[in-house]
Structure 1
């Protein structure tokens, strides 16, 4: 897709060109200092055709077909570092997983790798896959400036080009050398539909490879190619391969990589240390105010009742016990495990939305407590009540009253539309009503006591930092999208702060409209250009944000995820020393998450060593994951593929655990499609296992190509899980 630029960017480019014309001796660095921007922005403004960009900006036809560009000739001078050259050389010889801290040039390794692969062939397609459009644009631009193969084509191909037009475009690539920058969803769709010529693919570069767990599009793309006897070279890259041995091994196996062939670099390695900038990580520990303690206490009282029922029913033992200590609460994840196990026939999303309908046909035989008539419905009601109450507690502990009230509004709307037993049990509970009344009164009065203490601490950090570093940029991350408006509004009133939001494409409500790809790109360009200095973001900004001027990253809540921590902190300290500020409320889930993260980070060196040197030695050769999404058979109007396909034996049946969410629906649907399926209790609970042993969960999606479309966490807190996207007919093409 052609790049779309804003009017302010057109004005800036015009000023840069005028400055260079009147002062031809000025260097890029001098001009960057004058315009308070980066040298890359100056280079881009001087080298691109401004008139063409203006025309493209309002030309709908520019999106009909992918735009192929070519590297600059001559390319910019580049001096790869020693570890980059070493890594690229190995990746040319054998499939490789490169683990390299953020900001140390993984894309340069990919460039050297692709350059060597394309230089050795007369024609072929190198696929560089990334989970977000921001990353695709970033990679394409770097290749344009530095790939030393003048005749090689470079193109971003995504869902904004119609499927039939993508097919025509691919056909035009015959006999050419080209690098296609694509999301794995688009690659998978076009392979399955026979649009993308698989035989022409000679190389795969997988960015943010930690996503490549079983059932994810990265793994499915590689599995599809191997299934059709295509064996491209693979270079996978990430700063955070996973936090368990099994996760890392799964990533390697799903991309055809021997764990022994991982290249692991740390910030302390001698050949890397010279290029690493220091990150000053500080935790700001705060106590909840009396107002917040009171509201939290009322919600804990609500939570205590369903948890007591679950415990007395013998379903969870001490896992759902609510103790006297403020930290002795069941986690949302523990409650979700129970929901997965016992609410067969109800979707995981339904748990968050109150749309659960009990299905007696899916009752497990080993749950005696549910044999009593009506116990099934009581189980559903108590589990959903516990999930919602636990989520409310976490909102108060880590976010603030506005987030709690926003969640209450959604629940109230659902009660008005379709009241259910579990919804009414929550919204009519005296302690819940008192908590909402107390929080609502403080917020409506505009009282400072309505603010979470973390909000004031965050404002102080931002004020002090922007005052000391007026040309710098800051990113504030929050787990909950409902907190974004509150954070933007509050920070915008802090001296020296100009804040804007950055969210995913989903629109959970009319008041919370998502940002499409062009809007995301426009915000990032404005951020880099200094039009505002604080970006308030959800996980949508964890990958693909490379802003040289970003020297501060703030966490509004602590995270227990190693991958999330590494990705977020990696947005700072990319060109100079950086700062990390973590807001931390004592005696809450913030404290638990911080403690868990510390333990996981301490264990990471040992985990990486065991995977590479111990587990790898005892493992068989990497095997691809089974292809779990299959293309539809050609219709009478569609020609079958010309290649000869050897008839295979009937595939083994798909195994579905009886307690899997939607088990009866899955089995019936597969049977209707002519696919053999049967119940089997020997497989992991809450899952189904497909041919090849692939364990998956199943959801519906209306945007299969959008990797980063965010779940509405207010509706489904904590439920970020690897899934297989099941697209309705005619969608996801």
Structure 2
């Protein structure tokens, strides 16, 4: 093979590097998956990609993946040794190169390039490294790269930080670094790099800058919110807040939802008596079920105000309030709500995976509440952040002391408190040892089940774990109904294409074949090591659960680890068929297979204890160049594979989409968006899909669609912990499987919320609690799995006139899940109405 056509070329660079995809393709030839080509092919492929990248930058319009495919196909057809595998070679090369093209227009690329983010204004009064600077974010990022001594691959990250901080902020953060007490990592105690310290101090600076902003007036409590707040406070024996004692016009005492305008304004004593009657002599914890969009945050902010005031008045110190939210995106949103409340002598902080709650931060919060300082601290955390603090960072001390240090525990989206969720573990740690600690849980969807008796059991279990009483906000009340969005529901049903059925069947067969291959390899390895030769038989017994085979291969040397990874890829590919069809699955597997083959080249021969099976053998079998089966591409391309070239070409369609050549779900989405919003000047909507792979694929194909060029499309996925679970041979990073950092999620959400014609394509990371008041449509690209998921995703449509659309494939799991989740929602609504009726009957 020609020297410049090496599979290890550019191995030190990240996968986004322009030479990396060429090296991945070279690895397919080096491992025998594809025949060898001439030395001119890499140059032809690189030039074709650069041509399309230049065109996209200068001309705009849809991503030109189809033109790139056609150029790749022409280059492949010109290689004599590749003509027999032309469609397969084209699939590999076009998939690898098109990924670079799509990345260049992704949300993450926009963030990291600092596009649109420039600094205005003149010099800096403080002098320092950036005195007098008036430049783009990139210039500051380059300077930071030099000052901090970071590697070039950190440049994009520093661009993003610089864009957020502004030059004055960069100077302030650099000054803070000189005095930082956060110079060691929490997880392993190792010293942070200068860039790591800068990152931590930038987060602290940003939070402090946000707190310094003038608080805005919170909306007044509505009647039903007054009822909830007053009931909870009265049951806990706390003083009613001034907000409760004022009328809705701010001029006098007012009642709640049951008060009449004709009646005289009740006195504080009458209000307390009424609220105590609502509490039904209960003095413990509360779980409040209130519809999405009803202002649950406003309720628990007001309850926090009363708790903090009581602790200061009766105990002579500040309160410590712990607010747990299930999603990273909600940490800042809820922290902002507290910051806007103007709570006196209150310090608000938020913590998540990017900004872990450290023992030092916890101890500062505890110290701040001491009698001498009397500062109330509100910590808004993801449950994993707090659980890690309890169980990893400082287990003995905090497990013993934390239950007595927390004055109020708020569980946002409290329905997560079950089984092994972090909510349940934290509640066990904090509530059981400290029955006097107050707990407030809020949710719109406490539980779900198709059977009413089972639903009642789940509710009983949830209330038992929280040691709480349930209060339901009745959505039928006029003052509740007046604020709720009522999205019009619409179901769009599409047929699943025969080609997608064939692909799904072929993927299941491939999974079994790979499991058998792994079983044979493990059995041979056992014999070679002098152990029992029964491995294959034992594995065959468990073939009903392919995961057992993968588990047997996991955690070992390189070949075993790669074979195990192949099994997980096939599972993800089968799941992706539902949201992306052939057009999404084949390029996804092609990219992953090429990266694995490149790793095989870097590892070399198998080591002692490894299996002889090579990942390239599995790739050949899966894609159709070995083994007994026809391979996935052939399975999609007709009995003899005669349509293979057209199937591959359809994977890279761009421009004006045509119904007959477009995945049916995508076509339904294109039709809906172009017909409903093509002529609108400003709108926001969210499209929910099931997996990260589907998020990036759908966002890419939307950008490739000529009909959707009026849209700004953003992707959003949750944080990724997979890096901690990889084996000895980590797989090359791929945006389709990687998560987003907390900062990336928050920044994408900020960009999405700004005015424009915007669509957010997201996983369940954006399903719960996300408040985008201008969101007027939600599309579920597949059915909700549970009633809770259905209710929460529908609740993201916040405008009064809005739409909720489900795109369902007929005769698939989509239809069954849609019926199941709808029944669960109906059952929970019936349960809530019965409970609300009981509340009204009580004195």
TM-score range, shorter chain: 0.5 to 0.7
511 and 172 in structure 1: CA distance in 2 versus 1, 3 angstrom threshold:
same
Q: Distance in 2 between matches of 1:528 and 1:119?
A: 35
TM-superposed deviation, 1:499? 0.6
In structure 2, how many angstroms separate the alpha carbons of the residues matched to 1:171 and 1:356? 59
Match of 1:588 in 2: 812
Distance 1:425 1:381 in 2: 19
Classify 1:450/1:85 alpha carbon distance in 2 versus 1 (closer, same or farther; 3 Å): same
Secondary structure (helix, strand or coil) at the match of 1:604 reads helix
Cα offsets for 1:645-671 (capped at 9, x unmatched): xxxxxxxxxxxxxxxxxxxxxxxxxxx
Q: Is residue 416 of structure 2 the alignment partner of residue 211 of structure 1?
A: yes
Could you tell me whether the CA contact under 8 Å between 1:90 and 1:96 is conserved in 2?
A: no
Against the structure 1 CA distance between its residues 56 and 271, is the aligned structure 2 distance closer, same or farther, given a 3 Å change threshold? farther
What is the deviation of 1:234? Answer: 0.9
Residue 320 of structure 2 corresponds to residue 125 of structure 1: yes
Q: CA RMSD in A?
A: 4.3
Q: Which whole-Å CA distance do the structure 2 matches of 1:496 and 1:150 have between them?
A: 46
In 1, are the aligned partners of 2:289 and 2:446 still within 8 Å (CA)?
yes
Mapped to 2, the partners of 1:306 and 1:519 lie a distance apart of: 35
Aligned to 2:539: 377
Deviation at 1:561, TM superposition (A): 1.5
The secondary structure found in structure 1 opposite 2:332 is helix
The equivalent position to 1:510 in structure 2, one of 733, 738, 748, is 733
Structure 2 partner of 1:104: 294
- Contact persistence 1:296–1:397 (CA under 8 A): no
Q: Does 1:268 align with 2:476?
A: yes
Larger RCO of the pair (alpha carbons < 8 Å, separation 6+): 1
Q: Does 1:202 find its partner at 2:407? A: yes
> Could you tell me which residue of structure 1 aligns to residue 141 of structure 2?
none
Aligned to 1:315: none
Contact 1:354–1:423 (CA under 8 A) maintained in structure 2: no
Q: Find out whether 1:86 has 2:227 as its counterpart.
A: yes
1:350-375 deviation line (CA, Å, top 9, x unaligned): 99x9899999xxxxxxxxxxxx9954
In the TM superposition, what are the counterparts of 1:200-239 in structure 2 within 5 Å? Answer: 200-229=405-434, 231-239=436-444
Asked whether the equivalents of residues 214 and 250 of structure 1 are also in contact (C-alpha less than 8 Å), the reply is no
Q: Distance in 2 between matches of 1:485 and 1:354?
A: 31
Q: Give the drift of 1:376.
A: 2.7
Deviation at 1:277, TM superposition (A): 2.4
Q: SS of 2:715's equivalent? A: strand
Aligned positions of 1:294-313 closer than 5 A? 294-297=499-502, 299-300=504-505, 303=508
SS in 2 for 1:121: helix
Gap change, CA 1:225 and 1:530, over 3 Å in 2: same
Alignment partner for residue 188 of structure 1, among 387, 399, 404?
A: 387
Give the whole-Å Cα distance in 2 for the aligned partners of 1:103 and 1:466.
24
TM-aligned CA deviation for residue 186 of structure 1: 2.4
Partner of 1:631: none
Q: CA offsets per residue over residues 306-331 of structure 1, 9 Å max, x none?
A: 99x9xxxxxxxxxxxxxxxxxxxxxx
- Give the distance between the partners of 2:224 and 2:121, measured in 1 at CA: 36
Q: Distance in 1 between matches of 2:772 and 2:677?
A: 16
- The within-5 A match list for 1:355-370 is none
Change (3 A) 1:277 1:168: closer
Q: Output one character per residue of 1:234-254: Cα deviation in whole Å (capped at 9) or x when no partner.
A: 110111112132433332222
Cα distance in 2 between the residues matched to 1:57 and 1:401: 49
Q: 1:579 aligns with which of 803, 816, 840?
A: 803
Corresponding residue number in structure 2 for 1:639: none
> Per-residue deviation at 1:396?
3.1
Equivalent in 345, 357, 365 of residue 151 of structure 1: 345
User: Do structure 1's residue 400 and structure 2's residue 581 form an aligned pair?
Assistant: yes
The TM-score, its normalising length taken from structure 1, stands at 0.61
State the distance in 1 between where 2:661 and 2:581 align: 8
CA 1:407–1:526: 2 relative to 1, 3 Å = closer
Q: CA deviation at 1:591?
A: 1.9
Whole-angstrom distance in 2 between the partners of 1:10 and 1:354: 54
Task: Decide whether aligned partners of structure 1 residues 294 and 63 sit closer, same or farther in structure 2, where only a CA change above 3 A counts.
Answer: closer
Deviations 1:449-489 (A, max 9, x none): 55311101101211223234321111111112212233212
Q: Does the Cα contact within 8 Å between 2:576 and 2:694 map onto a contact in 1?
A: no
In structure 1, what is the Cα distance between the partners aligned to 2:121 and 2:288? 37
Matches within 5 A, 1:469-618: 469-492=680-703, 493=705, 494-506=708-720, 510-512=733-735, 513-530=738-755, 533-572=758-797, 574-608=798-832
Distance 1:499 1:514 in 2: 18
Give me the whole-angstrom Cα distance separating, in 2, the residues matched to 1:51 and 1:305: 55
Q: Using a 3 Å threshold, how does the CA distance of structure 1 residues 382 and 422 change in structure 2: closer, same or farther?
A: farther
Counterpart CA distance in 2 for 1:72 and 1:375 is 67
Give secondary structure in 1 for the equivalent of 2:377. strand
CA displacement at 1:609 relative to structure 2 = 6.3
Bigger Rg over Cα:
2
Contact 1:474 1:534 in 2 (8 A): yes
Query: Structure 1 71/128 Cα, relative in aligned 2: closer, same or farther at 3 Å?
Result: farther
Cα separation, 1, equivalents of 2:116 and 2:309: 40
Q: For residues 372-451 of structure 1, what are the structure 2 equivalents within 5 Å?
A: 375-384=537-546, 395-409=576-590, 410=592, 428=627, 429-430=629-630, 432-436=632-636, 441-444=646-649, 446=652, 449-451=660-662
TM-score (norm: length of structure 2): 0.54
2:277 paired with 1:115: no
- 3-state SS of 1:237 partner: strand
- Partner Cα separation in structure 2 for residue 545 and residue 13 of structure 1: 34
Quick check: which one's helix share is greater? 2
CA distance in 1 between partners of 2:463 and 2:504 (Å) = 44
Q: Answer with 131-140 or 170-179: which moved more.
A: 170-179
Cα pair 2:788 2:825 within 8 Å, conserved: no
* Offset at residue 392 of structure 1 (A): 5.2
Pick aligned residue for 1:135 from 299, 321, 330: 330
TM-aligned CA deviation for residue 516 of structure 1: 0.8
Structure 1 residue 568, shift from structure 2 partner: 1.2
2:377 corresponds to: 178
Deviations 1:658-716 (A, max 9, x none): xxxxxxxxxxxxxxxxxxxxxxxxxxxxxxxxxxxxxxxxxxxxxxxxxxxxxxxxxxx
Mark the CA change 1:126 to 1:98 in structure 2 (over 3 Å): closer, same or farther. same
Alignment of 1:329-348 (within 5 A): none
CA distance in structure 1 between the aligned counterparts of 2:806 and 2:492, rounded to whole angstroms: 6
Distance 2:814 2:226 in 1: 41
**How big is the shift at 1:174?**
3.5
In structure 2, distance between residues paired with 1:474 and 1:287: 25
State the distance in 1 between where 2:805 and 2:423 align. 33
Aligned residues: 516
User: Contact 1:170 / 1:197 at 8 angstroms: preserved in 2?
Assistant: no
Alignment match, 1:655: none
Unaligned regions of 5+ residues in structure 1, if any?
15-48, 310-349, 360-371, 615-733
